[in-house]
């Protein structure tokens, strides 16, 4: 089964609403670990809308599982990653006006710009993941560019699932699921590891978690949302239980 990496950005979103010191995303990371997370993911955005630079050292101190840094493909972020030494750098597109990451990285269009950044991260011994749409041409470009990992964007699947009354059998939902399944195989055939994430929640995760070959699911919003009621540790455990449920039950 794929492992769970919990994205703790939205704990910092709540803190930044008051620009205070609580709730602390590093504390959330510890609670997610105690709930069984195999990794902690954070996104240091260029506009610093949630995670702040001084969160990074505290996270590094307390995270004993894998620490993944999601980031824009910029020189500034690469330098921060090289200094921090996370277990993985996850390159994503960033738009100022977006509420969350909207689409996958256009690796085809940005190959020339991405290659030196990948080389710098590679020299520092940091594996790099490309967050991409479930599109074979983008996967091919990611392999050519030198990425070792692809994270497939599950947002379109998640939207279809909820638009069609959570009916996994609906043709538009199963079409999105099949795209993720097929693209997982393509990623693995090209010698990369395959992760998935975005928009996954307690209702829609089971079908994705059962796809053979996926290494990690990166999930944030739904876990942090549930944690308001039950705490991060229990919300993480609940997600792991959903991931382990066979899709037919």
Q: Which residues are catalytic?
A: 43, 70, 198
Tell whether residue 86 is a contact of ligand PXP (CB under 6 A): no
Residue 198 binds to ligand PXP (criterion: CB under 6 A) = yes
Closer to ligand PXP by CB, 17 or 169: give it. Answer: 17
Residue 120 to residue 97: CA distance in whole angstroms: 29
151, 187, 208, 210: which one contacts ligand PXP (CB under 6 A)? 151
User: For ligand PXP, how many residues bind (rule: CB under 6 A)?
Assistant: 19
Q: Note the Cα 140 to chain centre separation in Å.
A: 20
With beta carbons less than 8 A apart as the criterion, state whether 176 and 160 touch.
yes
Nearer to ligand PXP, 159 or 171 (CB): 159
Nearer CB in complex with ligand PXP: 3/151 = 151
Q: Please name every residue paired with 70 in a beta bridge, in sequence order, or none if there are none.
A: 43, 90
Q: Are 210 and 244 in contact (CB under 8 A)?
A: no
71-79, 172-180, 185-193, 220-228 -> range binding ligand PXP (CB under 6 A):
220-228
Task: Give the nearer residue to ligand PXP in terms of CB position, either 184 or 222.
Answer: 222
Spatial CB neighbours of 211, under 8 Å, sequence gap ≥ 6: 2, 180, 181, 184, 196
Report strand pairing: 214-219 vs 3-7: parallel
Q: Which stretch binds ligand PXP (CB under 6 A): 160-168, 175-183, 213-221, 236-244?
A: 213-221
CA distance 29 to 64: 10
Residues that bind ligand PXP (CB under 6 A): 7, 9, 43, 70, 90, 92, 100-101, 131, 151, 197-200, 218-222
């Amino acid at each position: 089964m794929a492992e769970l990496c919990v994205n703790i950005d939205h704990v910092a979103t709540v803190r930044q609403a008051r620009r205070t010191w609580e709730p602390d995303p590093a504390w959330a990371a510890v609670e997610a670990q105690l709930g069984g997370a195999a990794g902690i993911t954070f996104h240091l955005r260029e506009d610093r809308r949630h995670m702040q630079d001084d969160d990074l050292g505290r996270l590094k101190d307390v995270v004993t599982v894998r620490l993944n840094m999601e980031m824009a493909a910029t020189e500034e972020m690469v330098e921060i990653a090289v200094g921090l030494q996370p277990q993985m750098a996850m390159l994503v597109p960033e738009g100022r006006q977006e509420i969350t990451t909207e689409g996958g990285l256009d690796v085809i269009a940005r190959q020339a710009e991405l290659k030196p950044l990948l080389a710098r991260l590679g020299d520092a011994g940091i594996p790099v993941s490309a967050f991409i749409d479930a599109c074979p041409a983008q996967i091919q470009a990611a392999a050519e560019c030198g990425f070792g990992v692809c994270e497939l964007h599950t947002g379109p699947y998640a939207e279809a699932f909820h638009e069609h009354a959570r009916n996994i059998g609906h043709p538009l939902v199963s079409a999105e699921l099949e795209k993720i399944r097929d693209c997982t195989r393509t990623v693995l055939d090209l010698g990369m590891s395959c992760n998935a994430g975005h928009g996954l929640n307690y209702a829609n995760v089971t079908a994705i978690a059962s796809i053979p070959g996926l290494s990690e699911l990166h999930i944030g919003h739904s876990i942090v949302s549930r944690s308001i009621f039950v705490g991060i540790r229990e919300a993480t455990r609940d997600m792991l239980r959903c991931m382990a449920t066979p899709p037919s039950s």
